[in-house]
Structure 1
Amino acid sequence: MPHLGLLAPRYDDGGLAGVLPGVARSIGVPGLEHVPSVPMRPARRAVVVLVDGLGYELVRRRGGHAPFLRSLLPAAYRITAGFPSTTATSMGTFGTGQPPGAHGLLGYEVLVPGEDRLLNELSWEDGPDPRTWQTQQTVFERAAADGVAVTSIGPGYFDGSGLTRAALRGGRFRAADQLPARVDATLAALRAERRSLVYLYWGELDKVGHVHGCQSWEWGDELEAIDAELARLVRSVPADTAVYITADHGMVDAPHALRIDLAHDAELAAGVRHVGGEPRALQLYCEDGATPDVLATWRERVGERAWIRTKAEAVAEGWFGPVREENLPRVGDVIVAMRQNFAIVDSRRARPQLLALLGLHGSLTQEESAIPLFHVPARDSA
């Protein structure tokens, strides 16, 4: 059965924020002693694979499609992605080792303070300078400064993108399209350097889940292909290499019949100047003075379908972790994290392709927030 109760975000050793700092520390990068991480054995080289959309509960329930990952599951860590459980935010958390409130990548779409517009932090279209929007040093930058050969492997259009420069800057980038080619590039990068950290990203599982749903046979087929390549990677790495496999979020199927469209609901739309976030994790930026009325209306109308908080409440409850003062204006006045399989869309501005998606994420349910951390230690110690 799906686990759709609230999963409180964690930004200590039980969260995504600890993964990359822990890996870097395991290969000897200094200055990370006080950065939370899960226990990791020393190694000379390390690979971190991030499979977009590979939720812990999905692996557990659909493990028949992934015999290799299923064999690792008993020893895997069940960690949390943070809030919102969405790629742009999780990449910031992963890449910096900091909670969203610190790195400032606070959602799929967030307000640009002083400009009265939303920034899509995934596409970064017409976005600000990534280095001024996200000022925290990345773990890749720390590792590269210590002489580690850092290589990121992913689709070519990620090279130099706004999100990459904000969250994952540092080291070199190697483009490869298909997963087998990315595994080959990973192995080549490892063999080329005695002390190395390689990051491999794969996003197709998330795409398939969005279009067909994470309960579909198409999702299962994609997981099978990923599982086979991950097994090949682990078999083929040098003996002094540790391999870590994790994700940025999980997913739920959100049937269209359970959705509310703000374009056809004047009561819910009243007083809302910008609808940020995404359908499972909305951030409402209200007209001046309208926040109390918006909050009351949304709690009355959709309070049974969502966890609804004011900005102050969400911050106080630690949804974003400690929030830096300069990042507070990016947070919505009202935060709406959907329960169960519900979603709220706004067809006045969302593209039809996005409205058509079946699989969604972003909220605080276990299905969306719980992610795995698989660890295959090096066969030879560092």
Structure 2
Amino acid sequence: MSAHPTPGLPGAGEGLLDRLLPTVATSLGVSGLARPGDRVLAPARRAVVVLVDGLGAELLRRRGGHAPFVRSLVGRPESVTLGCGFPSTTATSMATFGTGRLAGEHGLVGYEAYDPATGRAFNELSWEDGPDPRQWQPHPTVFEAASAQGVETVRVGPGFFDGSGLTEAALRGGRFVAASSLDRRVDVTLEVLRAHRRALVYLYWGDLDKVGHVHGCESWQWGEELESIDAALRRLAASLPPDCALHITADHGMVDVPHERRLDLAYEPDLAAGVAEVAGEPRSVQLHCMPGAVPDVLAAWRERLGSGAIVVTRDEAVAAGWFGPVESRVAPRIGDVVATMTGPVAVADSRRHRPELMALVGLHGSLTLDEVAIPWLCAPAERA
């Protein structure tokens, strides 16, 4: 079989999201996180990392007129474009970001992930009825490493994130400060920086992703939300201490998929045949098959999706490096068959997916450039 595209940015050479937070922490003097080939950032005493959920690099390139401040950072020599890894979805990317490892190591392999212990899939965002998050993802996080080495480490986000399954699995370490609005999160960030001479602050904002899902990433509502974010980030940057570096990134991009291009497994018996459990997400479906059914499932999905998707076995996906290095405990979580969409198509299942999910306009999860490419925008500290 011919080689399949590896998630990332061919030719960009700047790597994936897993190296961003370790590199920032290293610039603050945290030891033990750097790897050969990592970027070397200018030293700083304090750093802020802002993650704007859904701010893909291609979206920013096309719609940057709504974000003059953020766009001004794109042209800085320190700013680069990364790949978020695969699948290009929030739960996976948050663990990639927080642990400095790709999905095959941290084990959060999708929006919905198959738990071999129960034989069913659970939602890694809500973590409802999920396993112990620290056992599911046992690797230490970058936040834990920074905090252990004396860096004031603070995570700023919505209150319901504090102690959630995803947070405990992917982003644990330091302390959490809850704030609802983006302006309040900026205020909290600045308060922490003013109170501590050595600090790492992580600020999360998720509304751009929400707007994109509901209205589409090409909608006027998406542009309006980006304008609000840009204003808040401009204020943050203008108020930072001179020894503080600013980093802005994302967890994935997004594409709009017309509803007439959606396949519903409830009405696709040929695609549902031989499938015991469906995981992943509509743009990157992971199929756990009944015994002996993999060849038939693979053939049926390849025939039905044609050039609109790449459909491979687990072994092919792992060999192609889609999930990065894959630990033995993680391999069974990946579908026996992985179908990742390359065209404007998606696959859902109205028998199990909520109507709200079925109605979404903007989607992500696959390995297309629009979904995988993310910015790493840098404003270095003026002095350390």
Q: TM-score range by the shorter chain?
A: over 0.9
1:269 correspondence with 2:283: no
1:17–1:36: 8 Å Cα contact kept in structure 2?
no
CA positional deviation for 1:7: 6.2
- The corresponding residue for 1:344 is 347
2:374 is aligned, of 366, 371, 380, to 371
CA positional deviation for 1:283: 0.2
What is the TM-score of this pair, normalised by structure 1? 0.97
- The corresponding residue for 1:9 is 8
CA positional deviation for 1:32: 1.8
| Counterpart AA for 2:51 | L
1:7–1:365: 8 Å Cα contact kept in structure 2?
no
1:260 is aligned, of 258, 263, 267, to 263
What is the TM-score of this pair, normalised by structure 2? 0.96
Q: Partners in 2 of 1:35 and 1:175 — Cα distance? A: 36
| Counterpart AA for 1:48 | V
Q: Partners in 2 of 1:194 and 1:230 — Cα distance? A: 21
CA positional deviation for 1:73: 1.2
1:14–1:38: 8 Å Cα contact kept in structure 2?
no
- The corresponding residue for 2:201 is 198
SS in 2 for 1:125: coil
Deviates more, 1:343-352 or 1:66-75: 66-75
Q: Partners in 2 of 1:245 and 1:289 — Cα distance? A: 46
- Residue 287 and residue 347 in structure 1: after superposition, are their counterparts in 2 closer, same or farther (change >3 A)? same
1:234 correspondence with 2:240: no
1:101–1:321: 8 Å Cα contact kept in structure 2?
yes
- The corresponding residue for 1:91 is 94
- Residue 125 and residue 33 in structure 1: after superposition, are their counterparts in 2 closer, same or farther (change >3 A)? same
- The corresponding residue for 1:250 is 253
SS in 2 for 1:303: helix
- The corresponding residue for 1:211 is 214
- The corresponding residue for 1:170 is 173
Q: Partners in 2 of 1:286 and 1:266 — Cα distance? A: 14
Q: Partners in 2 of 1:142 and 1:92 — Cα distance? A: 15
- The corresponding residue for 1:23 is 24
1:21–1:35: 8 Å Cα contact kept in structure 2?
no
Q: Partners in 1 of 2:133 and 2:8 — Cα distance? A: 25
1:111–1:119: 8 Å Cα contact kept in structure 2?
yes
Structure 2: 5+ residue stretches without partners: none
- Residue 198 and residue 36 in structure 1: after superposition, are their counterparts in 2 closer, same or farther (change >3 A)? farther
Q: Deviations over 1:188-228 (max 9, x none)?
A: 01111110000000000000000000000000000000001
Q: Partners in 2 of 1:148 and 1:10 — Cα distance? A: 32
Q: Partners in 2 of 1:264 and 1:329 — Cα distance? A: 28
Percent identical pairs in the alignment equals 62
Q: Deviations over 1:57-98 (max 9, x none)?
A: 000000110000111112321100000000000001000001
CA positional deviation for 1:37: 3.2
Count of equivalent residues: 377
SS in 2 for 1:62: helix
Pairing of 1:254-333 with structure 2 (within 5 A): 254-333=257-336
| Counterpart AA for 1:25 | T
- The corresponding residue for 2:65 is 64
Q: Partners in 1 of 2:291 and 2:7 — Cα distance? A: 30
Pairing of 1:28-47 with structure 2 (within 5 A): 28-34=29-35, 37-47=38-48
Q: Partners in 2 of 1:32 and 1:182 — Cα distance? A: 27
1:185 is aligned, of 185, 188, 195, to 188
1:127 correspondence with 2:130: yes
1:354 correspondence with 2:357: yes
SS in 1 for 2:330: helix
| Counterpart AA for 1:292 | P
CA positional deviation for 1:183: 0.3
Structure 1: 5+ residue stretches without partners: none
Q: Partners in 1 of 2:38 and 2:344 — Cα distance? A: 32
Q: Partners in 2 of 1:185 and 1:335 — Cα distance? A: 42
Deviates more, 1:32-41 or 1:226-235: 32-41
CA positional deviation for 1:47: 0.3
| Counterpart AA for 1:165 | E
Q: Partners in 2 of 1:281 and 1:9 — Cα distance? A: 15
Q: Partners in 1 of 2:106 and 2:9 — Cα distance? A: 15
- Residue 36 and residue 87 in structure 1: after superposition, are their counterparts in 2 closer, same or farther (change >3 A)? farther
CA positional deviation for 1:303: 2.6
Q: Partners in 1 of 2:216 and 2:281 — Cα distance? A: 17
- Residue 294 and residue 307 in structure 1: after superposition, are their counterparts in 2 closer, same or farther (change >3 A)? same
CA positional deviation for 1:39: 3.2
CA positional deviation for 1:246: 0.1
Q: Partners in 1 of 2:340 and 2:251 — Cα distance? A: 17
SS in 2 for 1:190: helix
- Residue 175 and residue 36 in structure 1: after superposition, are their counterparts in 2 closer, same or farther (change >3 A)? farther
